[in-house]
Structure formats: structure tokens, C-alpha cells
Amino acid sequence: MSAFGPELRRRRHERGLSLTDLVRHTHYSKGQLSKIENGHRQPSEYLARMCDSLLEANGALLALAGTPERPPATTTTRGQEDDIWVVALGPDGGSVFHPMNRREVLTFSAAAVAGLALGSPARPTPGVSDSISYFRTAFDATRTLGQKSAPTLVLPIVVAHAHGLRSLLPHATESERTRIAVLTARHAEYAGWMAQEAGDLKAARWWTAKSVAIAAEVGEHDLNAYSLVRQALITMYQGDAASTIDLARHAQATAGAPERVLGLAAQREAQGHALAADYDNCMRALDRARDHLQKDAEHPREGPVLGTSTISDPIGVATGWCLYDLGRPAEAAAVLDQEVALIPSTATRAWARFGTRQALAHAAAGNVERTCEIAARLLEVTPMIASDTIRSELRSLSQMLRRWQDQSEVRDLNVEFIKALRHTGG
């Protein structure tokens, strides 16, 4: 706390900048900045990022701010109102519905997928291939549902589909079993994302590891590299730049990794560099990511798309995301205004994720009216999609807007922020 202020003043004087120049760049008052420079007030993480960027400190000022890691808040569910009806498939092929709470759903789901075993091939049975095609189509539909529904609603559906795929194994040929295993692995990977969105990082890691194990049984190793990208997403949301970069680089070093996975891994590395306030390495990683994804677009692979399937240019929105973390909110807002507008209206979860970052960028750039306009739309959909990762960003937005509490549009949003940030478990 005492080291940041003097170093900020020293670097500011070295660059020939006045306190008024710092006010103009950060949109903090002269009194607030003076208290920080004198060591009487601790800077927010984002103020440290903006100062680091303006003074080209390459992370040195950010490190002195001593900002803590930011794990997504954990959702807890209590009481009968949180029960979820799930389908269970018995050994005789019959099904039964019964209520479970969220924790039981995750445990039950884990047991369902863990029981998937390839075993020895059986006699081919007509209709298995058609059933696999159905589950492939249903998986895409489930991901679409996940864009506009709470993860606790989507998880039981993924469970039911995993059970359905498992029931096909005794009747499948060897090639069909491979298709079943790969599709079940994708269900497990997606369940990991939904678990993370629900705020359960332990379950998210379990699901991700299970998807790799299932795919490896049939020699499909794409998910091994992609699992590192998924793990890097968790560490990124925790504010752990070093682990994010390390995991993303390991994914890129995986032998035989497809272009799409390499592109997504390079994108995640860029986001790690942005967290560390390393502009040059961030931009280089984004360039690599764009090259890999362009090659993937030219020669697409069969099967469900790894990563986002709703955003046409993942690197475009990632660039805006990175610019914000790099302490360049005005640049980030300009990029995200353009990119977020291209996200389909049906992709509510994706829009809310990047729209929240868009609102943060406008707030940090001092565009209060535009921030409130975006925030009002975000607060309408946040309870519906029940994302802990998005809620975490909205908390930051709510805190940032407190600097303009005297403005009517900010005061009008206060009640809506309270409702949206309440932990309801979806």
C-alpha cells in the first residue's frame, strides 16, 4: 500500500505528467489520486492497471498494488426450492424421475459418466447409428439451451443424454462405440463448463478430467489439449496470470493438437499476458491465435465445435477483453462495441459475458451513460442464466459505478444490482 503511491508519483514525474493528466486518464478525482500517491488510500486493482498502462510500467505498478486472486463466488443451494428433477436410467432400460439438489446432481452425473466402459464389441443392432445421430443433434440443442438457461437446468439434461449414450454401448459396433465415447466425452466437457458457471470449480475440474479419460480410451486426444485450455479458463477467472499462461502454453505444445485447440490455447495465453499487464506478449499471442483459427476455418473438422460455437470471431472479442485487462478501457470499449453487436441475440450467455466486459470498459473510460445503458440490459438476463463468473464481473461493475452515485441513472440501477447479485443458485 505504501510502496504503490510513491512509485506512481515517481514514474508520473519521470514522464512529465501532472496529477491533472492522471485524472484525465483514470477518471478518478484529484483528491482520490493524491491520497493514493501519499499512501493514505489503497488503489483499486483496475486503477493500478490504468496507471501501469499510462506509465508503461509493464506490470511493475500492478505488482505493487498487491491485488488478490479473484475466485468466482461459490453458489450454495439450500431448501426444497432448489430441488431439480433428474432422469435416471436403470439397468433394465427403464427410467425414473426423482428430485435432487445441485450437489447431488453433480455427484450423480459423475457416477453416470464414470461408468462408461467400452468393453468388447457386440453384434450390430439396427438403429444405433440413428440414435447416435440423434444425441449429436441433441447436444447442439443442449448447448443452445445453455445460452439462455441456468446451468442447474442444463446439467440434468446432460446427465440424461450421457445415460442414453451409455445404454447404446451393448448394441454398438466398434466404430459406433468410438463415436459414442467421443460424444460422451464432449457431454462431460460441457458439463464441466456448466459446473464452473454454477460456481463449483471442483466439479468443473472433475468433469474436464473425465472427458479426457473417456476420449483417450478410443485414441481421441484432442480433448487432452483442450482440457488445459479449460483449466486455464478457471485460473484466468481467479486472476492467476502465471498459471493461465503456463497451462495455455502446455496446450500449444501438445503433439498433434488441432488448429482450433491451438488457436483457443493461444487466445487464453493472451488473456494471461493481459492479466500480467504484458502488452507485447499479449498481442503476439492474439496474432498466433488468429492464424490458427483461420487455418481451422479453412479445413474444419467433423464433430461438435470445441469452444464457443456462437461467436464468429472469438479473437475479436478476446482482443477487447485483453485491452481492458491491459488498462486500456477506451480502446477496449471501442473494440467490444463493434464485436458484441455481432453476437447473435439467441446467444444470451455469450452476450452477457462479453457485454459485462463491455460495460466495465465504458465505466473505466468514464462513459457513465453508456455503461448504465448496457448494465440495464445485463441485469435483465443475469438471473436467468445464473452465471457465477458473470456475477463476479458485475460486482466489479457495481463497485466501479459507486464513483458516480450522485447521478440518477446510477442510483436507479442500485436495486437491480442487488437483485442480480443475490446468490439464488439459478
Q: What angle do CA 183, 237, 397 make, to 5 degrees?
A: 125
Does residue 91 share a domain with residue 53?
Answer: no
What does the pLDDT read at residue 418? 84
**Closest to 175 in 3D by CA, of 118, 256, 216:** 118
Does residue 173 share a domain with residue 104?
Answer: yes
What does the pLDDT read at residue 99? 54
Cα within 13 Å of Cα(129), Cβ side = 5
Does residue 83 share a domain with residue 56?
Answer: no
pLDDT single digits (tens) 2-56: 789 999 999 999 999 999 999 999 999 999 999 999 988 889 999 999 999 999 9
Q: Are 331 and 25 in contact (CB under 8 A)?
A: no
Does residue 407 share a domain with residue 319?
Answer: yes
First to last CA, the chain: 38
Residue 377 lies in a domain: yes
Rounded mean pLDDT, 157-174: 85
Residue 125 lies in a domain: yes
Q: Are 320 and 336 in contact (CB under 8 A)?
A: yes
Residue 202 lies in a domain: no
Does residue 86 share a domain with residue 54?
Answer: no
Computed over its alpha carbons, how large is the radius of gyration of the chain? 23
What does the pLDDT read at residue 123? 58
Does residue 334 share a domain with residue 384?
Answer: yes
Q: How many domains does the chain have?
A: 3
Report the range of poorest mean pLDDT among 76-80, 228-232, 302-306, 317-321: 76-80
CA distance 321 to 273: 12
What does the pLDDT read at residue 122? 54
Residue 80 lies in a domain: yes
- Residue 121 pLDDT greater than 60, yes or no: no
What does the pLDDT read at residue 105? 61
Does residue 401 share a domain with residue 332?
Answer: yes
Domain range holding 408?
314-421
Last-in-domain residue among 152, 187, 222? 187
Q: What is the DSSP string of 60-121?
A: HHHHHHTPPP-PPPPP---SGGG-EEEEEE-TTS-EEEEEE-HHHHHHHHHHHHHT----S-
320 band by pLDDT with thresholds 50, 70 and 90 = very high
CA distance 329 to 359: 10
What does the pLDDT read at residue 298? 87
pLDDT single digits (tens) 379-402: 999 888 888 889 989 999 999 998
Residue 306 lies in a domain: no
The domain that holds 414 is classified in CATH as: 1.25.40.10
**Closest to 193 in 3D by CA, of 366, 389, 367:** 389
Residue 332 lies in a domain: yes
Report the range of poorest mean pLDDT among 57-66, 90-99, 149-158, 253-262: 90-99
